[in-house]
Structure 1
Amino acid sequence: MNLIVRLLFLLLTSSRRSRLHVLDTCVTPFRVWLNDLDVLMHMNNGRYFTILDLARVDLMMRSGLWRQLKAQGWYPVVTLETMRFHRSLELNDRYNVETRVIGWDEKHIFLEQGFVRDGVQVALAIVRARFLKRSGGVVTTAELMQLSDVTQDSPALPEWVARWSEADGGMTFQ
């Protein structure tokens, strides 16, 4: 239930926060709630991934992409993600999730999402996603970039991210 509350709050506040381009860094504020904690009294590892979902929604809402995706009948799916934890988040800690697109290939969008508390990175995730059509089939990155008014080429992905993605065999939803 708390994630529904967070999602509703995010949907209400996104429209009042600054507009972004889809390639801008989106900073989404959060706080650690009691039901985010595990038995060791720090934020549960699985909760980090759920919070990432909300931060990606914030980027899509604030960039206007969400509305465009809905109109096209397209939706995002995560196909691969990894996270490195540096520090713990504890009850009532305020933190931001900083989300930015770091590149793309013909099939996927790659995002970096960092958890930052008091200017210090707590955890860092890399997420590989693609978009599907509700009518069936996949959205090419070229179609997505055209919808987003992105005309530039992808920045070079960090070498380890490219290897990580390739090691997965590039498996995708069809």
Structure 2
Amino acid sequence: MDLGRIDLMMRSGFWAKMKEQGWYPVVAGQTITYRKSLRPWQMFQLRTRVLGFDERWGYIEQTFCVGDTVYAQAFVRTRFLKRSGGSVEHEELEKLAGGFPAGLQVPEWLLEWTAATRINAVK
């Protein structure tokens, strides 16, 4: 799935821009549901798309398919960090990307999942 996300960023030209800024992507959480098993060496297609953003995270959907059959579907919570320290704000990300596509929508259940899986700081 990492390769699918990197491929999306490279094809869009965002990877080079992000690297120039000293940014790098991280995965903060993910959930995946398996429907069918892939056999070793079986060809499949990985479809990767950006779903949208909340106040802190970016959300990506990744689907493993053979033909029109879905074998697995994953949802990934992401963030970009700065090599100099700190997180990349959405406004910075949108500016570097040249805007976000219209109609991005994070499903409500995914926002609830984010809240439910939050790890509180250990005291």
Partner of 1:83: 32
2:60 is aligned with 1:111: yes
Structure with greater strand share of residues:
2
Cα 1:170/1:158, change in 2 over 3 Å: farther
Compute the displacement of 1:105 (Å): 1.5
Flag structure 1 segments of 5+ consecutive residues without an equivalent: 1-51
Flag structure 2 segments of 5+ consecutive residues without an equivalent: none
Return the alpha-carbon distance in structure 1 between the equivalents of residues 8 and 24 of structure 2: 14
Q: Is the 8 A contact 1:106 1:140 kept in 2?
A: no
The size of the alignment, in residue pairs, is 120
Return the alpha-carbon distance in structure 2 between the equivalents of residues 103 and 154 of structure 1: 9
Q: Is the 8 A contact 1:106 1:142 kept in 2?
A: no
Return the alpha-carbon distance in structure 2 between the equivalents of residues 103 and 119 of structure 1: 24
2:47 is aligned with 1:98: yes
Q: Is the 8 A contact 1:78 1:128 kept in 2?
A: yes
Q: Give the alignment's TM-score, normalised by structure 1.
A: 0.65
Aligned mate of 1:161, from 107, 110, 113: 110
Identity of aligned residues (%): 43
Structure with greater helix share of residues:
1
Per-residue Cα deviation, 1:40-83 (whole angstroms, up to 9, x for no partner): xxxxxxxxxxxx00100100100001000100000000001000
Alignment-mate amino acid for residue 56 of structure 1 = R
Q: Give the alignment's TM-score, normalised by structure 2.
A: 0.90
| SS of equivalent residue, structure 2 residue 20 | helix
2:19 is aligned with 1:70: yes
Q: Is the 8 A contact 1:85 1:122 kept in 2?
A: yes
| SS of equivalent residue, structure 1 residue 54 | helix
Poorly superposed stretches of 4+, deviation over 2 Å: 151-156, 168-171
Cα 1:113/1:152, change in 2 over 3 Å: closer
Aligned mate of 2:83, from 130, 134, 142: 134
